[in-house]
A and B are shown apart, each in its own frame.
Chain A
Amino acid sequence: MYSDKVLRVLKRKKIDIGDRIQITKDNKTFEGILMPRIEMGDRDSLVLKLDNGYNIGIKFEPSVEIKKIKTEWFIKGSKGKEVETIIFDDKLPTISIIGTGGTIASKIDYRTGGVYASFSAKDIVTQIPELKEIANIKAKQIMSIMSEDMTPERWKGVAKAIGSEVNSGVKGVIVVHGTDTLHYTAAALSFMLRNLPCPIALVGAQRSSDRGSSDTVMNVSCAVNFVANSDVAEVCIVMHGSMSDDYCLAIRGTKVRKMHTSRRDAFKAVNDIPIAKIYWKDKKIEIINNNFRKRSKGKVRVDDKIEQRVALIRFYPGLDPEIFDYYLKKKYIGFVIEGTGLGHTPTLGKHSFLPKIEKIIKKGIPIIMTSQCLYGRVHPTIYHNLRELSKRGVIFAEDMLPEVAYIKLLWILGHTRKMDKVREMMLTNYAGEITERTEVITGNDEDGEY
């Protein structure tokens, strides 16, 4: 947006964005189309698109002469339609796509550089013509937010939307979502969608859809194939398996994490093997982990009761145990600690966590222990200090990822606050979040190839 000073002058001269204008400054005249001001840079500089396509900025000063020549473009944002169904072929399965926003649903206006959220079945199909060979698509936009703005409250909305699509009889559902918190949503849905009869794929993009190099096309194409044709009735993240456009991996929603800020293959399976490899070109689905819930006939039950007063606390050397007092004052009723190694927190002097932990558990507030190593399992009895924690009632959460344990605790506390019940549920495997044994080869391997 331009500064008020510039906007006033433009208004007085009846110049709109998209008008062809002439700007004269220091005896030089430039002609071009007035562009909107992009977010960054000097708000006093007029952005002019020259006839050779380049934009330049000309600093506005009172001595600058601006002359309108004509209106060249009408510029306004476009908006996607609410629901749209595209039927290609009666014989093909029908799947649903639910839009929530994120990089994958962002689209740039090529003339202005402005980014508009625009998502419709038609948009996707136009971009990915090959989809017509895979499935009929029903599309629904339920929100338009970036990943970081996703909240536990919004997970409920997503779960309900999936529930109604699944129970309307589609073969599978895709959720289009920003990537940053994609694995949190995946874990939340894994717990909320009970008796899931069909595949649910969460898909994002690391390169926005307006780019010719976007990973959207392959990710969505593989996800459509996966939910339409696989036998895997689980919530999975389906994204690039390598830097190349060769295959996607379907990774269980409770065993996956974004492990890179920008690479296409940012999502890695942790303490688990991805369930399937989905080849893009020949549309082959290869199951590489047979331990999954099979497709069934029933209806999904959406169990979205959650409690939100739970904190995830990452220990680091020097952390003051009084941090717990803040949360207690705010009436928090559950804690997940990201401890070190096998699940440690300090036991010496004023940094010791033991007094606080003892006090909190005595109040009937559960404390769950996970590891900031991410890979591997916590253990309550190997070291003396671990035994001290365990003795006081800390629940050691096996090989659950800290975020997954946090989401699981939200969900458990939505159902019970009884300590014994919480412990029992925490250590019960609901959605593949706990494995009994850890395979030697997991996503931790060097190049992540399967």
Chain B
Amino acid sequence: MENIDYKKIDLKCGLEIHRQLDTKHKLFCGCSTEMKGREALTEVERKQHPVASELGEVDVAVQYEFLRDRTFHYQVFQGEDCLVECDEEPIHPLNQEALEVALQIALLLNCTIPEEIHIMRKTVIDGSNTSAFQRTMVVGLEGFIEVKGKRIEVTHVSLEEDAAAIVEEKAGNVVYRLNRLGIPLVEIGTGLLVGYTSGEVEEIAGLIGLICRSTGKVKRGIGTVRQDVNVSIKNGERVEIKGIQELGLISKVIELEVQRQLSLSKVEKETRTALPDGTTKFTRPLPGAARMYPETDTPPIKIEKKFKQEIKKKLPEPWTKKLTRFKEELKLSDELANQILRSDYLDLFEKLTKKFKTQPSVIANVFVSTLRDLKKRENIPIENLGDKNFEELFELLDNERMVKESIPDVLSYKAKKHEMGISEIIKKLGLEAISKEELLKIVREVIEKNKGQPVNKIIGIVMSQVRGKVKSRDVVETVKKTIGKIY
């Protein structure tokens, strides 16, 4: 794969990045954006219909055939869906929190903000929206970001409602979970990226992700990010690949797509869906996707100059500054600073470093190494660990109730049996730190029993007795001091 000559094949890409916003409520109603629901409260069954006038030149018959054969089943979840998601109540006013985050992102991407934002309805016929359209609005236009001295064009930033998530499709019956529907989503589109390698395109996507993340208001984890990439090579048609869920997959997807296109005699213009292994499958091209008309249930939103200035004042620290601060103030190495900046735990890391006196590098290492190792080597369900658990952990460290050496054991135990608190766990595992007096007592006893033994041997014996309960440095120091006094 390394031998693709990007200049020769004239790779052209375009990115469209979608990120869910971590707001309290959905975009057009008061439902929670946390998708915790397991058991559906009820199920609503619907058909959808072709809408003749909106399609214009598109063949209605094709749509009719498509929709006739499909019945949609929507699972409704308590607290996470209401009549708005069921298409049984008009939308409530636009979520101001979501609008502000979207405008922040647009400003961070140097976009022009429209003076009046118009909510549009974009036709969707796959049933992923109960209303048969997706509400979307453009909040920023013609922006840019700088990457290694080069300007990358940002064509638009939109704020829209996320679609319902598909559960299964069987014999014309399509089942959706409704709780994802209506979660605020930002969409960021780049201009055509010409003269970049697949790796560089991935880097650009990563950077846009970092900028979104810097608002502290985007969701993290599986399913909260979806990336689309358009790929074309010399003399070929543009192929759109949708739904890449991981940043690290972008370059692989592009490379495989380039190889696929090189292997074809003629490339068809089409839409493909990204699979978890980086390969793609053909998606049925659905007509009418670009058909947009105004949402008439709610007025356009006027963006006053004063409001815009207030948002500018509240803009988060740019990621470049944050990186420098991590290195200079928090004394993180360049590698660690970059890792934590891209970590899902960035916000928590910043919160914890402000609150606790444990060294920032220790905290950062827990998030970028310890957790990764627990997951990869021992397959520990680290997703069971919540923000509160980490707070308790570092509080115990601060108060010297435990030592950093026992962090992996404690977290591993907590993740597996998550009903116990961290302080209970350290007691249960016998990892409670011992006081200096207790250590001194143990050291004295060991020296008494092993008179004449070399210092290193003594240290070894003490260590075996207090492992995980006291810092190793303290053991060494105490042994050396005490031996001096006794001998």
State how many angstroms separate the Cβ of B367 from the closest Cβ of chain A: 39
A56 / chain B contacts, CB cutoff of 8 Å: 114-118, 138, 141
Assuming the contacts A28-B142, A45-B116, A57-B118, asked whether A212 and B294 have C-beta atoms less than 8 A apart, the reply is no
Q: Of the 9-residue stretches B251-259, B295-303, B330-338, which lies at the interface with chain A?
A: B295-303
A243 / chain B contacts, CB cutoff of 8 Å: 44, 86, 88
Which 6 pairs of residues, A with B, have the shortest CB-CB distance?
A57-B116, A212-B132, A40-B299, A113-B294, A53-B292, A56-B114
Q: Are A213 and B87 in contact (CB under 8 A)?
A: yes
Which one of B50, B54, B137 has the highest number of Cβ atoms from chain A below 10 Å of its Cβ?
B54
Q: Are B291 and A54 in contact (CB under 8 A)?
A: no
A109 to B141: give the CA distance in the assembly, Å.
26
Answer yes or no: A47 CB below 8 A from chain B CBs. Answer: yes
Answer yes or no: B49 CB below 8 A from chain A CBs. Answer: yes
Answer yes or no: A312 CB below 8 A from chain B CBs. Answer: no
Q: Are A262 and B90 in contact (CB under 8 A)?
A: yes
Which one of B115, B125, B132 has the highest number of Cβ atoms from chain A below 10 Å of its Cβ?
B115
A245 to B54: give the CA distance in the assembly, Å.
23
Chain A residues at the B interface, C-beta cutoff of 8 Å: 28, 30, 38, 40-42, 45, 47, 50, 52-59, 107-113, 115, 126-127, 129, 206-207, 210-214, 217-218, 243-246, 261-264
B115 / chain A contacts, CB cutoff of 8 Å: 45, 56-59
Q: Are B133 and A110 in contact (CB under 8 A)?
A: no
Select one of A45, A52, A212 contacting B49, CB under 8 A: A212
Assuming the contacts A28-B142, A41-B116, A263-B89, asked whether A127 and B52 have C-beta atoms less than 8 A apart, the reply is yes
Q: Are A57 and B46 in contact (CB under 8 A)?
A: no
Q: Are B88 and A57 in contact (CB under 8 A)?
A: no
State how many angstroms separate the Cβ of A21 from the closest Cβ of chain B: 16
Q: Pull 13 A–B residue pairs with CB atoms less than 8 Å apart, ordered by A.
A: A30-B141, A53-B291, A55-B120, A56-B117, A110-B293, A126-B52, A212-B50, A213-B132, A217-B49, A218-B47, A243-B86, A246-B45, A262-B88
Answer yes or no: B12 CB below 8 A from chain A CBs. Answer: no
Which one of A38, A41, A243 has the highest number of Cβ atoms from chain B below 10 Å of its Cβ?
A243
Q: Are A41 and B300 in contact (CB under 8 A)?
A: yes
State how many angstroms separate the Cβ of B109 from the closest Cβ of chain A: 15
A126 to B54: give the CA distance in the assembly, Å.
13
Give A243's nearest chain B residue, CB to CB: B44
A contacts with B: majority SS: loop
Name the interface residues of B252-304: CB closer than 8 Å to any CB of A.
Answer: 290-294, 296, 298-300, 302
Q: Are B291 and A262 in contact (CB under 8 A)?
A: no
Give A78's nearest chain B residue, CB to CB: B53
Question: Using an 8 Å CB-CB cutoff, how does the interface string of B303-342 with A read, 1 for contact, 0 for none?
Answer: 0000000000000000000000000000000000000000
A28 to B117: give the CA distance in the assembly, Å.
17
Answer yes or no: B469 CB below 8 A from chain A CBs. Answer: no
Q: Are A41 and B302 in contact (CB under 8 A)?
A: yes
Select one of A30, A112, A263 contacting B88, CB under 8 A: A263
Q: Are A108 and B114 in contact (CB under 8 A)?
A: no
Answer yes or no: B158 CB below 8 A from chain A CBs. Answer: yes
Answer yes or no: B362 CB below 8 A from chain A CBs. Answer: no
Assuming the contacts A53-B292, A111-B293, asked whether A211 and B132 have C-beta atoms less than 8 A apart, the reply is yes
Answer yes or no: B219 CB below 8 A from chain A CBs. Answer: no
Beyond known contacts A41-B302, A126-B60, A210-B53: 7 more, CB 8 A cutoff: A42-B300, A56-B138, A57-B117, A57-B118, A58-B114, A246-B45, A263-B89
Assuming the contacts A108-B296, A113-B296, A213-B130, asked whether A53 and B122 have C-beta atoms less than 8 A apart, the reply is yes
Select one of B49, B54, B112, B137 contacting A214, CB under 8 A: B49
A30 to B141: give the CA distance in the assembly, Å.
10
Give B55's nearest chain A residue, CB to CB: A110
A52 / chain B contacts, CB cutoff of 8 Å: 138, 155-156, 290
Q: Are A28 and B52 in contact (CB under 8 A)?
A: no
Question: Using an 8 Å CB-CB cutoff, how does the interface string of B397-438 with A read, 1 for contact, 0 for none?
Answer: 000000000000000000000000000000000000000000
A87 to B419: give the CA distance in the assembly, Å.
70
Select one of B45, B48, B87, B294 contacting A55, CB under 8 A: B294
A30 / chain B contacts, CB cutoff of 8 Å: 141
A410 to B350: give the CA distance in the assembly, Å.
73
A109 / chain B contacts, CB cutoff of 8 Å: 53
A50 to B112: give the CA distance in the assembly, Å.
14
State how many angstroms separate the Cβ of A57 from the closest Cβ of chain B: 2
Q: Are B125 and A212 in contact (CB under 8 A)?
A: yes
Answer yes or no: B123 CB below 8 A from chain A CBs. Answer: yes
Q: Are A54 and B138 in contact (CB under 8 A)?
A: yes
Chain B: residues with Cβ within 8 Å of the partner, total of: 53
State how many angstroms separate the Cβ of A228 from the closest Cβ of chain B: 21
Give B302's nearest chain A residue, CB to CB: A42
Name the interface residues of B45-91: CB closer than 8 Å to any CB of A.
Answer: 45-54, 56, 60, 64, 67, 83, 86-90
State how many angstroms separate the Cβ of B458 from the closest Cβ of chain A: 75
A211 / chain B contacts, CB cutoff of 8 Å: 51, 131-133
Select one of A47, A59, A107, A207 contacting B118, CB under 8 A: A47
Assuming the contacts A38-B296, A213-B132, A246-B45, asked whether A54 and B52 have C-beta atoms less than 8 A apart, the reply is no
Select one of A47, A115, A129, A245 contacting B47, CB under 8 A: A245
Q: Are B137 and A207 in contact (CB under 8 A)?
A: no
Give B86's nearest chain A residue, CB to CB: A243
A246 to B47: give the CA distance in the assembly, Å.
9
State how many angstroms separate the Cβ of A245 from the closest Cβ of chain B: 5
A262 to B56: give the CA distance in the assembly, Å.
30
Q: Are B293 and A213 in contact (CB under 8 A)?
A: no
Q: Are B89 and A54 in contact (CB under 8 A)?
A: no
A59 / chain B contacts, CB cutoff of 8 Å: 115-116
A207 to B129: give the CA distance in the assembly, Å.
15
Assuming the contacts A57-B115, A243-B44, asked whether A50 and B49 have C-beta atoms less than 8 A apart, the reply is no
State how many angstroms separate the Cβ of A224 from the closest Cβ of chain B: 15
State how many angstroms separate the Cβ of A240 from the closest Cβ of chain B: 10
Assuming the contacts A54-B156, A211-B131, asked whether A110 and B53 have C-beta atoms less than 8 A apart, the reply is yes
B123 / chain A contacts, CB cutoff of 8 Å: 212
A206 to B118: give the CA distance in the assembly, Å.
24
B50 / chain A contacts, CB cutoff of 8 Å: 212
B60 / chain A contacts, CB cutoff of 8 Å: 126
A108 to B52: give the CA distance in the assembly, Å.
11
Q: Are A42 and B116 in contact (CB under 8 A)?
A: yes
A244 to B48: give the CA distance in the assembly, Å.
12
A112 / chain B contacts, CB cutoff of 8 Å: 293
A111 to B54: give the CA distance in the assembly, Å.
8
A110 / chain B contacts, CB cutoff of 8 Å: 53-54, 56, 291, 293
Select one of A45, A58, A212 contacting B48, CB under 8 A: A212
Q: Are B114 and A207 in contact (CB under 8 A)?
A: no
Q: Are A213 and B116 in contact (CB under 8 A)?
A: no
Q: Are B44 and A244 in contact (CB under 8 A)?
A: yes
Select one of B48, B88, B293, B300 contacting A264, CB under 8 A: B88
B120 / chain A contacts, CB cutoff of 8 Å: 53-55
A171 to B123: give the CA distance in the assembly, Å.
38
B133 / chain A contacts, CB cutoff of 8 Å: 211-212
B54 / chain A contacts, CB cutoff of 8 Å: 110, 210
State how many angstroms separate the Cβ of A215 from the closest Cβ of chain B: 9
Q: Are B112 and A108 in contact (CB under 8 A)?
A: no
Name the interface residues of B15-50: CB closer than 8 Å to any CB of A.
Answer: 44-50
Give B84's nearest chain A residue, CB to CB: A262
Q: Are B293 and A108 in contact (CB under 8 A)?
A: yes
Question: Using an 8 Å CB-CB cutoff, how does the interface string of B133-151 with A read, 1 for contact, 0 for none?
Answer: 1001110011000000000
State how many angstroms separate the Cβ of B246 from the closest Cβ of chain A: 27
A30 to B115: give the CA distance in the assembly, Å.
12
Q: Are B131 and A213 in contact (CB under 8 A)?
A: yes
A58 / chain B contacts, CB cutoff of 8 Å: 114-116
State how many angstroms separate the Cβ of A218 from the closest Cβ of chain B: 7
A55 / chain B contacts, CB cutoff of 8 Å: 118, 120, 292, 294
Assuming the contacts A38-B296, A113-B296, A211-B51, asked whether A53 and B290 have C-beta atoms less than 8 A apart, the reply is yes
A263 to B44: give the CA distance in the assembly, Å.
12
State how many angstroms separate the Cβ of A332 from the closest Cβ of chain B: 37
Q: Are B51 and A212 in contact (CB under 8 A)?
A: yes
State how many angstroms separate the Cβ of B112 from the closest Cβ of chain A: 6
Which one of B64, B141, B298 has the highest number of Cβ atoms from chain A below 10 Å of its Cβ?
B141
